[in-house]
Amino acid sequence: MKKKLKIDSYNKKILSTLHLEGALTNIELAERVNLSPSACFQRVKALKEAGYFRNLHADINLDQLCEHVLAYIEFTLEDNSAPSRRRFVSRIHEIPEIMDCMQLSGDVDYISLSCFPNLKKLNEICSGLSDQTDLRIKHIKTRIVLERAKWFLGYPLSKLKWLDDEKFDGEMISERVSI
Amino acid sequence: MKKKLKIDSYNKKILSTLHLEGALTNIELAERVNLSPSACFQRVKALKEAGYFRNLHADINLDQLCEHVLAYIEFTLEDNSAPSRRRFVSRIHEIPEIMDCMQLSGDVDYISLSCFPNLKKLNEICSGLSDQTDLRIKHIKTRIVLERAKWFLGYPLSKLKWLDDEKFDGEMISERVSI
DNA sequence: TTGTCTGCAAAATAATATTTTGTAATTAGG
DNA sequence: CCTAATTACAAAATATTATTTTGCAGACAA
């Protein structure tokens, strides 16, 4: 079903454009990438079916909607055996306040970006995790986000070496939008 | 121009739906929120104009597209006076590989999630920042992401306490929001 | 009551998405 | 070198959707 596609300069431009501006109509997108609407449509469809991108997401203005607290939470496990890690990661997935979680090199095993309605709730959830002894968490360190110095603007696609790069001799991918 | 809107249950459902699935057509969205297509359309339009959400972004499958290295980079400044911070943040904005950057409470001043084509490039950029003495960076700590244990799935909107419209008496915030 | 305002649904229209078709360029096999 | 077979594209045709317009009903104030 999932077919491997050649990621030529058209597909690169389609992907990077949709990454930064997913609300374009097919016609607008086609104009930007210099294809006919039908050709553009077929490529978008093929790219999606092949898994090169999944969904679109609206970036909502949380500051405008509600009070909240962002925090990085770091986890160090007693032992990082596969079963321990599996149990920990499984538990993390059950907590929607923990928005993502990355396994790291170094002394700390995991770091997660989390969002809570207030500090009380943050403390509740962290304490709850600590108290669950079967998770074998040795240490939790919480670092509150005071300010977003730079907002996430997407992957630096123009700085990465895409696959099939030998086929790409066109101009550079679309520029990133600035705040 | 930007009008204060009442964030009732319809608008909440519209925003949370688009946050998780922005590729819906207006008709599909209207069905999900139990409104007529026209009423739904007008609300979406008003919400966007009022700044409750900005754009849509395709979440592209970077693993499928190219080799890359994700890393959290932590910065501690010599002094965190306002001018030093301004200079640092300004520099950070010029580096697309640094995807976001948060000012933190605690001993470390900033943390950023970054994406590079390889470790060599990571080192180049970190070294470059260290060498720029006018940035007054005391310490840089890099923590490589070994694995994404949990992928970003959006804000935990159902867990937050949304503001009622009567609390919107203050001025509006219109910051850019991450996906 | 009367008038104004608001939000909604329904209808009408404009625009777009999506499919179909034909064609030129490319490739592989003989 | 020739001939399918394949691919990607544009153009046309059609299906579907976006968007505007209209009018109605409820809420509210004078």
Model confidence at B3: pLDDT above 70 = no
The candidate with the shortest Cα–Cα distance to B13, out of B29, B27, B2, is B29
Closest nt by CA–C1' to A10 = D8
Structure tokens at B71: 């890393």
pLDDT of amino acid A169: 34
Backbone angles phi, psi at A79, to 5 degrees: -140, 145
Segment B35-47 shows an average pLDDT of 95
From the options 1.10.10.10, 3.30.465.10, 3.10.129.10, 2.60.120.260, give the CATH code of B9-58. 1.10.10.10
Q: Which parts of the protein come within 7 Å of strand C, by CB position?
A: A 25-27, 37-38, 41-42, 45; B 6, 10, 35-40, 42-43
**pLDDT > 50? residue B109:** yes
Portion of chain B with pLDDT greater than 90, in percent: 82
Instruction: Judge whether residue A94 has pLDDT over 70.
Output: yes
Task: Report how far residue B30's alpha carbon sits from residue B24's, in angstroms, rounded to the nearest whole number.
Answer: 9
Express each pLDDT in A99-130 by its tens digit. Answer: 999 999 999 999 999 999 999 999 999 999 99
Task: Report CA(A45)–C1'(C22) in Å, whole number.
Answer: 22
pLDDT at A16: 94
Q: What backbone torsions phi and psi does residue A153 show, to the nearest 5 degrees?
A: -120, 20
What is the rounded distance in angstroms from the CA atom of residue B60 to the CA atom of residue B74? 26
Ranges assigned E (strand) in A49-109: 53-60, 69-77, 101-104
Please give the pLDDT value at position A104.
98
Q: Which band of pLDDT confidence, cut at 50, 70 and 90, is reported for residue A53?
A: very high
Q: Number of CB pairs < 8 Å for A and B?
A: 275
Q: Hey, where are the domains in chain B?
A: 9-58, 62-144
Nearest CA in chain B to A165: B66
Q: What integer best gives the mean pLDDT of chain B?
A: 89
**Minimum-distance CB partner of B147 among A59, A61, A103:** A103
The stretch B124-152 carries a mean pLDDT of: 96
The number of angstroms, rounded, from the C-alpha of A110 to the middle of its chain's C-alpha atoms is: 16
More confident residue, A36 or B164: A36
**Which nucleotides in chain D lie closer than 7 A to a protein CB?**
8-12, 17-21
Among the partner-chain residues B100, B104, B151, the one whose CB lies closest to the CB of A144 is B104
Q: A44 CA to chain B: closest CA distance, Å?
A: 11
Give me the mean pLDDT over the A151-176 stretch: 62
- And the tokens for B90? 């300004």
Mean pLDDT (whole number) for B115-144: 97
Give residue A164's pLDDT band: very low, low, confident or very high (50, 70, 90): low
Confidence of residue B1 (pLDDT cuts 50, 70, 90): very low
CB within 8 Å: B54 and A58: yes
| pLDDT band at residue A170 under the 50/70/90 scheme | very low
Nearest CA in chain A to B173: A64
Residues B131-145 have a mean pLDDT of: 96
Q: Over range B63-67, report the average pLDDT.
A: 91
**Second-level CATH architecture of A62-144:** 2-Layer Sandwich (3.30)
Per-residue confidence band for B5, with pLDDT thresholds at 50, 70 and 90: confident
* pLDDT score of A1: 45
Give the residue ranges with Cβ < 7 A from strand D: A 6, 10, 35-40, 42-43; B 25-28, 37-38, 41-42, 45
Beta strands A110-116 and A101-104 are antiparallel
Cβ of B102 within 8 Å of Cβ of A148? The answer is yes
Residue A137 near residue A84, CB atoms below 8 Å: no
- The integer distance in angstroms from the CA atom of B163 to the C1' atom of C3 is 33
Report d(CA A111, CA B72) in Å as an integer: 9
Cross-chain CB nearest to B100 (options A67, A151, A162): A151
- The average pLDDT across B50-79 equals 94
The pLDDT of residue A179 is 20
Helix (H, G, I), strand (E, B) or coil at B172: coil
Question: Could you tell me the CA-to-CA distances from B127 to A55, A56, A65, A105, B93 in Å, in that order?
Answer: 36, 36, 39, 19, 17
Per-residue pLDDT band for B2 (boundaries 50, 70, 90) equals low
Lookup: tokens for A9: 């300069």
Give the DSSP per-residue string, B101-145. EEEESSS--EEEEEEESSHHHHHHHHHHHHH-GGG-EEEEEEEEE
Q: Residue B11 above 80 pLDDT?
A: yes
A178 contacts in B (CB within 8 Å)? 93
Query: B161: which residues sit within 8 A by CB, 6+ positions away?
Result: A66, A67, A117
CATH topology of domain A1-59: Arc Repressor Mutant, subunit A (1.10.10)
Q: Which nt is closest to the CA of B10, judged by C1'? A: C7
Between the CA of A89 and the C1' of D28, what is the distance in angstroms?
54
- Tell me the DSSP string of B1-52: -PPP----HHHHHHHHHHHH-TT--HHHHHHHHT--HHHHHHHHHHHHHTTS
Asked if the Cβ–Cβ distance from A60 to B18 is below 8 Å, we say: yes
Instruction: Kindly report the bases of strand C lying within 7 A of a protein C-beta atom.
Output: 7-11, 16-20
Contact B176 A179 (CB under 8 A): yes
pLDDT above 90: percentage of residues in chain A: 81
Q: Please give the pLDDT value at position A93.
A: 95
Q: What confidence tens digit (pLDDT) does each residue in B150-179 have?
A: 998 889 999 998 875 444 433 333 334 444
| Pairwise CA distance, residues A139 & A152, whole Å | 28
Rounded distance between C-alpha atoms, residue A156 and residue B82, angstroms: 28
